């Protein structure tokens, strides 16, 4: 079958089409700025998993983390601490750091109790208990700075949802018997919890991480089933990969309408982010239909794309990926070790650039030019989402409103901006001059 691939790239803005499906990806700088005011000393980290809690809060889970204070230029002041994992409780945009130990001597959020350490995976809430998959690692001399560690195993750690204290743990034997590191994504569907993992597999002399999946009905402690490429079986050793697309340590699977999608960063610290469609939680996720939906612009390492469905806004999914500029550079600039956020839109406007005005939604936008605020009114009290992009296509402001709203623009650099309003399937786009 011959496929046609159309990719249109603009800085911070990516519109692509494959087999009739269009995707638009934009940079969400406004969500990234959410982490500028974390209380409790969190400065920067990687991993960027999130778990939506039943009470509406989000528990963000991070790996190696810097704790301390920043200087006015965004560098880290002397006296900082480096811990192996941390968490942030996000309650409506108010963010609080979680770790063990004390403020003067912080320790990992979830310690192992010995010389090994945990890096987080995903998890679930079950029977009023948070259950997290945690990868246990140890120091190994590989002769490569930044990669001198070795995998030990996967543990499931139980936390109290009230104070996030550890109340128990158990080792996950399925990983030992199958070689699959389970836990990078938990997806609930039709009464099952699907637990995704990855396994090192040698393909033509090169070791790739390949995606696998298990499922469990009811409690996580019930017997699991494993997909062998044709059916679900009870033997973990018979698990087979669910796609020929190599993945990274952190990848995601999510459902939209009647389809499932595998989302992953390019292997070996590549720049491309892939979306691979499938027809079931177990795939098969077809490489022939995979799509590069975004290429990261950073000149340093980017890795581990993930999705945060609880922050979906007007059909636009929130994605993240990690960046790492190197230890010494991070101390000078925490922005080199903070997650980047993107918005994935499955139903973009047919216009392929933001500077082409379109009008399907009647709206009044004033004043234009503006220097303090931009006022927006739509007819018939539509429930609407307003998104303001700078001239590089970066999302700088986002407002949900009904009828009317105002966007404060006094702090933005002068220039041409692009406003997009969406209500249901109607769209309005126009340029805004800020001076």
Q: CB–CB of 120/111 below 8 Å?
A: no
The string of pLDDT tens digits covering residues 276-300 is 999 999 999 998 889 999 999 899 9
Rg of the chain's alpha carbons, rounded to an integer? Answer: 22
The string of pLDDT tens digits covering residues 149-174 is 999 999 999 999 999 999 999 999 99
The string of pLDDT tens digits covering residues 367-402 is 999 999 999 998 777 778 888 988 887 888 887 788
Task: Indicate the Cα dihedral angle 177, 181, 187, 188, nearest 10°.
Answer: 30
Sequence-ordered list of residues with C-beta below 8 angstroms from that of 33, at least 6 positions apart, any chain: none
The token pair at 322 is 């990690």
Integer Cα distance of 362 and 101 in angstroms? 56
Query: Which range has the worst mean pLDDT, 285-294, 318-327, 345-354, 389-398?
Result: 345-354
What is the CATH architecture assignment of 358-434? Sandwich (2.60)
The string of pLDDT tens digits covering residues 106-154 is 999 999 999 999 999 999 999 999 999 999 999 999 888 878 999 999 9
What is the CATH architecture assignment of 5-345? 5 Propeller (2.115)
Q: CB–CB of 89/96 below 8 Å?
A: yes
In the predicted model, is pLDDT for residue 355 greater than 50? no
So where are the chain's domains? Answer: 5-345, 358-434
The string of pLDDT tens digits covering residues 236-292 is 999 999 999 999 999 999 999 889 999 999 999 999 999 999 999 999 999 888 999
- pLDDT value of residue 12: 44
* Stretch 317-341: mean pLDDT: 95
Of the candidates 9, 3, 38, 41, the residue with the CA atom closest to the CA atom of residue 23: 9
The token pair at 13 is 């803005």
- Omega of the bond prior to 13 within 30 degrees of 0, cis? no
Of the candidates 433, 304, 274, the residue with the CA atom closest to the CA atom of residue 365: 433
Question: What is the secondary structure of 263-285 as a DSSP string?
Answer: EEEPTTT-SEEEEEEESSTT--B
In the predicted model, is pLDDT for residue 359 greater than 60? no
At 390, give phi and psi (nearest 5°).
-80, -175
Integer Cα distance of 182 and 228 in angstroms? 15
Integer Cα distance of 251 and 229 in angstroms? 20
* Stretch 343-355: mean pLDDT: 59
In the predicted model, is pLDDT for residue 22 greater than 80? no
């Amino acid at each position: 079958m011959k496929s046609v691939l159309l990719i249109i790239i603009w800085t911070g803005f990516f519109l692509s089409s494959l087999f009739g499906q269009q995707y638009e990806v934009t940079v969400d700088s406004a969500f990234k700025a959410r982490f500028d005011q974390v209380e409790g000393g969190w400065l920067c980290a990687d991993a960027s998993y999130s778990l939506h809690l039943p009470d509406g809060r989000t528990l963000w889970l991070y790996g190696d983390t810097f704790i301390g204070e920043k200087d006015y230029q965004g560098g880290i002041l002397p006296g900082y601490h480096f811990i192996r994992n941390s968490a942030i409780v996000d309650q409506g945009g108010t963010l609080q750091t979680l770790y063990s130990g004390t403020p003067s001597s912080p320790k990992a959020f979830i310690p192992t109790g010995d010389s090994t350490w945990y890096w987080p995976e995903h998890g679930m809430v079950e029977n009023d208990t948070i259950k997290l998959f945690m990868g246990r690692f140890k120091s190994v001399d590989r002769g490569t700075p930044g990669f001198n560690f070795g995998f030990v195993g996967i543990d499931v750690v139980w936390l109290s949802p009230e104070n996030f204290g550890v109340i128990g743990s158990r080792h996950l034997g399925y990983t030992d018997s199958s070689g699959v590191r389970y836990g990078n994504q938990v997806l609930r569907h039709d009464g099952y919890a699907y637990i995704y993992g990855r396994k090192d597999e040698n393909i033509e002399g090169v070791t790739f991480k390949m995606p696998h999946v298990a499922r469990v009905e009811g409690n996580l402690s019930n017997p699991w089933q494993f997909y062998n490429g044709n059916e679900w079986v009870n033997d973990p050793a018979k698990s087979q990969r669910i796609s020929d697309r190599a993945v990274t340590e952190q990848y995601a699977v999510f459902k939209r309408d009647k389809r499932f999608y595998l989302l992953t960063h390019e292997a070996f610290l590549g720049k491309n982010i892939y979306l691979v469609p499938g027809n079931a939680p177990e795939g098969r996720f077809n490489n022939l239909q995979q799509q590069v939906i975004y290429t990261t612009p950073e000149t340093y390492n980017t890795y581990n794309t993930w999705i945060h469905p609880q922050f979906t806004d007007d059909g636009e999914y929130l994605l993240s990926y990690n960046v790492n500029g190197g230890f010494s550079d991070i101390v000078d600039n925490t922005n080199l070790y903070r997650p980047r956020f993107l918005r994935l839109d499955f139903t973009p406007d047919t216009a392929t650039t933001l500077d082409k005005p379109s009008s399907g939604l009647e709206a009044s936008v004033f004043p234009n030019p503006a220097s303090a605020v931009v006022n927006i009114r739509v007819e018939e009290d539509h429930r609407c989402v307003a998104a303001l992009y700078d001239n590089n296509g970066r999302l700088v402001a986002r407002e949900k409103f009904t009828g009317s709203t105002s966007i404060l623009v006094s702090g933005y650099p002068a220039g041409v901006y692009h406003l997009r309003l969406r209500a249901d399937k109607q769209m309005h786009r126009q340029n805004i001059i800020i001076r």
